[in-house]
Structure 1
Amino acid sequence: MNYPLYVAIIMLTALIGGNICMKARLPSVTGFIVVGLLLGPSFTNLINSEIIRSMSFVNDLAMGILAISLGAELHWPTLKRYSKDLPPLVTGEIALTILMVSSLSYLLGLNLQ
């Protein structure tokens, strides 16, 4: 397998996806995630699960870049202004996510273990 080629494809398409999202006034992280989904085994399978497993160092690097990008999107003065409202909102969002995923998994007969 030609790993440098796969890394180049991933990086180039992520850069393009990030730029497209920025022009659409969306966070560049959105483009990174969409490109990852499109290239991965869920859609086009251009980067299959065997390649993903064998390139775990790239996955670790990508997660670091993703975390830094997400942190860069935060606007601290806005967060401070809404700091009293955030804990109940975050708690509610987490609870709703768990409820929705559990319900959908139950309805589809999926095992969550």
Structure 2
Amino acid sequence: MAYGTFETLRQKNAVLRGTVNLNSGIQLAAWYNNLDTITVQSDHHTLSLYIADGYESYQKTPHGWKNGGGPDRFCLMPKGDESTWDIRGDLSFVHLYCTDEHLRRVGEQIWD
């Protein structure tokens, strides 16, 4: 499966450091970015974890730009939501891309 957020990042300044596709169809990707503005609206879910830097990462909100970045910060970008990010400094992060079906399967395996 091609994940929209992954493809959007590849077309921007982001540098792909590594990726793996799991048998289930879930994809993991390690990225580096700096001095970039990115808008994504995907048909899948993205879980994002900052692993280094990110102190100058801003998310566009209805009330302006919000800075909340830094190592070990976690963000969920749900399917269908639009997210705009202004990356003004170094940022290393990992994404996990998955679909509703992946989440259903995990839920069934854990709670059934």
- TM-score, L = length of structure 2: 0.21
Q: Which has the larger radius of gyration?
A: 1
Relative to its length, the structure with more helix (as a share) is 1
What TM-score results when the alignment is normalised by the length of structure 1? 0.21
Higher strand share: 2
Higher relative contact order (CA 8 A, sep 6+): 2
